[in-house]
Amino acid sequence: MRFQTPLVPGTLIRRYKRFLADVRLDDGREVTAHCPNPGSMMGLAAPGTRIWVEPTDDPRKKLKFAWRLVQHDSGHFTGVDTGLPNRALRAALEAGAVPALTDYGTVRPEVKYGAGSRVDFLLSQPGLPDAYVEVKSVTLSRHPGLAEFPDSVTARGARHLHDLAQVAGTGRRAVLFYLVQRTDARAVGVAADIDPAYAAALERARAAGVEVMAHGTQITPEGVTLAVPLPVR
């Protein structure tokens, strides 16, 4: 997936009210950008962080920039847009680029299931059990090479695991898909110290037959694409 317009580099001044970020662009301008991430963004939002924003001339948008990437001192990138994983995974699923799910020909997004939830993707193919796929964006890393989820308490995430476990109990496939928006990740783990309830819900879901998958991403200022599978600890 390519960004719609070329990204512009800058330095984060501050992130505030969850969805706003003041940025000093490399050309000296100071602008306010939309932050498409309501989470804690642990380790990604310190003042002085090198970031990349996407400009827009859409007259319907109040803010003319949107924060897309963090560039670390190592040169690696992290994507901060929580909406991007669903778009990237949908493109990969439709292209047959997810090895564990290539047998499915129909990809339907946002299908109702469980107790008032919507699954991110429902995959179907004649002769195969339907596959319910829930996507989680992973951006936290506190140890070299290890990406972790979640970065804050997520009752919603635990509820999704409960719904997936119920799906698995009916003989259909239930998949939790961690899409890691970091180019420095080599494995994925659960941040049980941040949310013990989520970690316990994940263990129950796995015991019920929920499949847990993770893929990395290739990230540059030009775009983001799905990369190789990563082990889940």
Cα atoms in the Cβ-side hemisphere of radius 13 Å centred on 134: 27
Q: Return per-residue pLDDT of the chain as tens, 233 residues.
A: 899 999 999 999 999 999 999 999 999 999 999 999 999 999 999 999 999 999 998 888 899 999 999 999 999 999 999 999 999 999 999 999 999 999 999 999 999 987 778 999 999 999 999 999 999 999 999 999 999 999 999 999 999 999 999 999 999 999 999 999 999 999 999 999 999 999 999 999 999 999 999 999 999 999 999 999 999 98
Query: Which parts of the chain are beta strand (E)?
Result: 8-16, 20-25, 30-34, 50-55, 65-71, 77-79, 106-113, 117-124, 131-138, 140-143, 146-149, 173-180, 187-190, 211-220, 223-229
CATH architecture of 8-75: Beta Barrel (2.40)
CATH 1.25.40.10 for the 84-229 domain, yes or no: no
Name the burial class of residue 170, with classes exposed (0-12), middle (13-18) and buried (19+) by CB atoms within 10 angstroms of its CB: exposed
Read off the amino acid at residue 116. G
Pairing of strands 146-149, 140-143: antiparallel
The yes-or-no answer to whether 8-75 and 84-229 have a common fold is no
In the chain, what are the domain boundaries?
8-75, 84-229
